[in-house]
Amino acid sequence: MIPTTEIAQQAVNGLVMGGVYALIALGLTLIFGILDQANFAHGELYMIGAYATFYFSEFLGGSYPLALIFAMVAVACLGIFYEWLLFRPLRGMGHLPAIISSLGASIFLWNLALLIFGSTPRQMRTGLSEITLTFLGISLTVQRLLVLLITLGLILCLYLMIMKTRMGKAMRATAQDPEVAALLGIDINRIAEMTFIIGGALAAAAGALIGPIFLIYPAMGLMACLKAFVVVILGGLGNVVGAVIAGFALGVIESLGAGFISSAYKDVFAFLVLILVLWARPEGILGKTAKKAG
Amino acid sequence: MESILNVEGLTKYFGGLAAVEDFDLYVKKGEILSLIGPNGAGKTTTFNLITRLELPTRGKITFKGEGITELRPHEIVERGIARTFQITRVFRKMTLLENVAVAQHLTIRPNLWSTLVSPSEKKREKEGLKKAEAMLQFVNLFPKREELAANLSLGEQKRLELAIALSMDPELLLLDEPVAGMNPKETEEIIDLIGIIREKGITVFLIEHDMKMVMDISERIIVLNYGKKIAEGSPKEVSQNPVVLEAYLGRRHP
Amino acid sequence: MKFWMKILGGLLFLTGLIYLPWTIKNPYFLHIIIVSGIFVLLASSLNLITGCTGRLNLGHAAFYGIGAYSSTLLVMKLGISVWFGMPLAGLITVFFGILIGIPCLKLKGAYLAITTLAFGEITRLAMMNLVPLTNGPLGIRGIPGPPPIIFRNSLFLSFESKTSYYYLLLALCLVCLLIIRRLLNSQIGRAFMAIREDEVRAETVGIDTTRIKIMNFALGAFFAGIAGSFYAHYVRFISPDTFTLNETFTILTMVVIGGLGTFYGPIVGGVIFTFLPELLRAIAEYRMMIYGLMMSVAIIFMPEGIIGIFQSWIPRRIEKGLRQK
């Protein structure tokens, strides 16, 4: 007897988590695709988004939606600082320096958070977590449903933005061929700032959304960043649709694995998937759009 | 004269586009052969296929009677083919001397044990460095041997590429646009160097756009257009070939 | 003339190092020096992989740990003498280095960084969870030190005091660093650098990049494993907490700030970043923060590290100054 209801329940939980992964991975994949760089400090944007939401809602006494928006704006600004301080000085110098500079920033930020916020995990309250809906034997708290809805909404906004707006078209042009884009008069610096604004806002949203469900702690960005990288690699560097699909997929795989195999090793699933994929296809599942050969 | 390199039915598709299609060519031992054609004709791709930077979709390449289509790039160097790059690819943060010395990897054949333990290895490396210095003198870059390759001008980088290629003791030298971007004086120097290289018995196969140079030094010319061979023969024959003229002139009127 | 000066300077320095323990009253200070020696080895080993060959290895602490645990288990469970255990541990670490190196062959940049990070974490999880073998999070206590060295029936070195350990480490460092120095100046070292600069180009100058990359990982693993083995028999207690991602970051900071790809860089970095936390005891909580900050600042403003400042930046400024006159 296959426990279909249980599987479905775990899968739905996985979708919620997967949406969060997708949000984080989207920013990361945009940075990869448009700027050809790896941002190892991306998880800290997520972490700071969570803390920002937490403290904002504390000060405003529980206005969660406002806190979410505030966090997105604040972290978007932080994203611009990332670009100015960590990536712009190293533009065009290959991959290794930017990895090291963002790695250093990551270490700096999460230890800073450790100092400021302390290592005790925090719990965000929104008052919604207690209400549970049940449908076809699957139960979902309103909080989780909200996460799913907001995630989908943000993804839709991003999609519209990239496809329909001028800025979005400029970003896509830069991703395809930075030299031609420059010749067309596209300012790479503005594009870079925009990419980090979007990446920061999405990561912050992910942090804000996850806060009420799980605990907030300073090192939460590390594991999130790793998983986001796995999602990006699975979906293809720079592939926005791929990141969304892979994000949800990873969430579901993790959830099913944790539910049916072992919850202690939950985090290992992402690693295993990563190693398997990279072994079979070192360029990632879809790889990056081939630029100049040899 | 025997042919040192034989290419049969070479084809390479990028997506749906044929960069090179059913390309047959042979290179005679000791000759200077030039490959010309309008931009994008597939010349560099041909070099990439011979040196295995790309895998051909179809076709067979034989060097000195041995099939080399499946070998890895460093094995191709081992067999005796060296190449330079159209857009120079020198090791930027290494000195000129190191750039040339590293290319002697196969002549020295280092392995871990002998590097650490055997004194003759050290001796061979010293000789290798001397040889590298000689190479740099040959291309007139000896005074700058301790400088980083990144600091060189374009012409100097092209000469460095030549030194690196020669350092591999090749029997066949593939030169991809060796004088691109050079002034007439520099071009003359390179032509002289190629002459000396040829006298040493090294076969030269080159790609160039500088028609004067090509006509001057080539014994034989192959013309490529849209990935297909359209002409082959002596410089005189090719320069009078109407198909060739059309290919070049025709390009100017889109 | 200059060559003899170098030799003389080196000999003087060596004499100083040999004489050093007798001048130090405080055993804790000697301990710090010994620890800095361990980190010199660790930084130099990571430098081989990340500095010279340009392949970021974020799982380096795993090699450190594998060396430590291998040596411990060989000595304590199989009764092998420490003198055999150490080199064997080095070889076992090499085995793992190759094991990890093979799937990493086709990876570079961020892919490589993440994968090595994953391997590092998986290794640490293994240390935590293979309890029958590693005793899990509790670690292994009471690891024996090396047996005393007896020379002509009189005790030469008994490993009861730190001084003996100091001399052992000094000898280890000298041998390992000499090997590394020889490697860096050899054709193999040039092959490493070529792979760092342009891997495809390296293939086209005749370098078998597959073989060299695996050799590179194996070497980095070996020296880290030796360092781990020494650590185990010196501190006489190991646990998974020592071999964490933080440790790898610390070692990476040493290499970056000392000077990526140079010989002296990791040595300088290793010493500085072992002494620095001691001097800055008061701000211990800020330590990792400062390291992170320094790493980012260094790679942007002084990518060649401290050594780079002495080797190129200062001479260039002097040259500029002289030319302007």
Three-state SS annotation for A10-63: HHHHHHHHHHHHHHHHHHHHHHHHHHCCCCCCHHHHHHHHHHHHHHHHHHCCCC
* Least Cα separation, residue C217 to chain B (angstroms): 13
Q: Which ranges of chain C have pLDDT less than 70?
A: 1, 152-156, 324-325
Q: Do B125 and C186 touch (CB under 8 A)?
A: yes
For B223-241, what is the mean pLDDT?
Answer: 88
What H or E segment, with its residue span, contains residue A224?
helix A220-235
Contacts of A294 in chain B (CB under 8 A): 48, 53-54
DSSP C147: P
Given a cut of 80, whether residue B163 has pLDDT beyond it is yes
SS3 category, C238? strand
The two tokens of residue B92 are: 């930027």
- The chains in contact with chain C, meaning 3 or more Cβ pairs closer than 8 Å, are A, B
Partner B contacted by A293 (CB < 8 A): yes
For A256-262, what is the mean pLDDT?
Answer: 79
Give the gyration radius of chain A's Cα atoms: 19
What pLDDT, on a 0 to 100 scale, did the predictor assign at position C263?
Answer: 94
Q: What pLDDT band is residue A259 in, cutting at 50, 70 and 90?
A: confident
Return the sign of the alpha-carbon dihedral for residues C251, A109, C116, B102. Answer: negative
For A49-60, what is the mean pLDDT?
Answer: 86
What pLDDT, on a 0 to 100 scale, did the predictor assign at position A286?
Answer: 53
For A166-173, what is the mean pLDDT?
Answer: 90
Partner B contacted by C98 (CB < 8 A): no
Q: List, in sequence order, the alpha helices (H) in chain C.
A: 2-23, 27-46, 60-78, 82-101, 109-129, 131-134, 162-184, 187-197, 199-204, 209-235, 245-259, 264-279, 287-301, 305-308, 314-324
Please tell me which residue of chain C has the smallest CA distance to A274: C115
B40 vs B178, residue with greater confidence: B178
Mean pLDDT over each residue of chain A, to the nearest integer: 86
What pLDDT, on a 0 to 100 scale, did the predictor assign at position A282?
Answer: 66
Across the interface, of C109, C292, C300, the residue whose CB is closest to A107 is C292
- A100, C309 contact by CB (below 8 A): no
Please tell me which residue of chain A has the smallest CA distance to C118: A271
- CA angle B68–B69–B74, rounded 5-degree value: 60
* B114-133 pLDDT, tens digit each: 777 778 888 888 888 999 99
DSSP C146: P
C111 vs A132, residue with greater confidence: C111
Partner C contacted by A62 (CB < 8 A): no
What pLDDT, on a 0 to 100 scale, did the predictor assign at position B253?
Answer: 45
- Report the topology of domain A4-280: ABC transporter involved in vitamin B12 uptake, BtuC (1.10.3470)
Q: Which amino acid is at C73?
A: L
What H or E segment, with its residue span, contains residue A134?
strand A132-135
What pLDDT, on a 0 to 100 scale, did the predictor assign at position B211?
Answer: 85
Phi-psi domain of A223 (left: phi exceeds 0; alpha: psi -120 through 50; beta: other): alpha
Which residue from C39, C21, C17, C50 is spatially nearest to C277, judged by alpha carbons? C39
Contacts of C296 in chain A (CB under 8 A): 85-86, 100-105, 108
For B125-153, what is the mean pLDDT?
Answer: 90
* Least Cα separation, residue A274 to chain C (angstroms): 8
Please list, residue by residue across C266-297, b when 16 or more beta carbons sit within 10 angstroms of its beta carbon and e when fewer do.
bbbbbbbbbeeeeeeeeeeeebbbbbbbbbbe
* A281-294 pLDDT, tens digit each: 766 555 543 332 22
* Least Cα separation, residue C182 to chain B (angstroms): 7
Q: Do C114 and A96 touch (CB under 8 A)?
A: no
Q: Do B116 and C205 touch (CB under 8 A)?
A: no
* B178-220 pLDDT, tens digit each: 998 888 888 898 999 999 999 999 999 999 988 888 888 999 9
- CA angle B146–B149–B153, rounded 5-degree value: 115
Instruction: Give the whole-angstrom CA distance, residue C114 versus residue C112.
Output: 6
Contacts of C315 in chain B (CB under 8 A): none
In the beta sheet, which residues pair with residue C170?
none
**Alpha-carbon torsion, ordered C253, C257, C262, C267, to 10 deg:** -70
Q: Do C299 and A101 touch (CB under 8 A)?
A: yes
Q: Do A275 and C292 touch (CB under 8 A)?
A: no
Share of chain A above pLDDT 70, in %: 90
Q: List, in sequence order, the alpha helices (H) in C205-286.
A: 209-235, 245-259, 264-279
Contacts of B54 in chain A (CB under 8 A): 293-294
List, as ranges, residues 172-211 from C with C-beta within 8 Å of B: 179, 182-183, 186-188, 190-191, 193-194, 197-198, 200-209
What pLDDT, on a 0 to 100 scale, did the predictor assign at position A280?
Answer: 75
SS3 category, A290? coil
- How many other CB atoms sit within 10 Å of the CB of residue A179? 9
3-state secondary structure chain B: CCEEEEEEEEEEEECCEEEEEEEEEEEECCCEEEEECCCCCCHHHHHHHHCCCCCCCEEEEEECCEECCCCCHHHHHHHCEEECCCCCCCCCCCEHHHHHHHCCHHHHCCCHHHHHHCHHHHHHHHHHHHHHHHHHHHCCCHHHCCCEHHHCCHHHHHHHHHHHHHHCCCCEEEEECCCCCCCHHHHHHHHHHHHHHHHCCCEEEEECCCHHHHHHHCCEEEEEECCEEEEEECHHHHHHCHHHHHHHHHHHCC
Contacts of B48 in chain A (CB under 8 A): 293-294
Contacts of C197 in chain B (CB under 8 A): 91-94
What pLDDT, on a 0 to 100 scale, did the predictor assign at position C285?
Answer: 82
Q: Do C204 and B115 touch (CB under 8 A)?
A: no
What pLDDT, on a 0 to 100 scale, did the predictor assign at position A42?
Answer: 96
B and C: number of Cβ contacts within 8 A = 82
What pLDDT, on a 0 to 100 scale, did the predictor assign at position A129?
Answer: 60
Cα–Cα distance list, A262 to A223, B131, B161 (Å)? 18, 62, 57
Spatial neighbors of C178 by CB under 8 A, at least 6 apart, are: none
Please report the ipTM that was assigned to this predicted complex: 0.89
Domains of chain B: 3-252 (3.40.50.300)
SS3 category, A70? helix
Contacts of B115 in chain C (CB under 8 A): 182-183, 186-188
What is the CATH code of the structural domain delimited by C28-324? 1.10.3470
Name the residue with tokens 């992910």. Answer: A206
What pLDDT, on a 0 to 100 scale, did the predictor assign at position B251?
Answer: 54
What pLDDT, on a 0 to 100 scale, did the predictor assign at position A289?
Answer: 38
- C225, C66 contact by CB (below 8 A): yes
* Least Cα separation, residue C149 to chain B (angstroms): 27
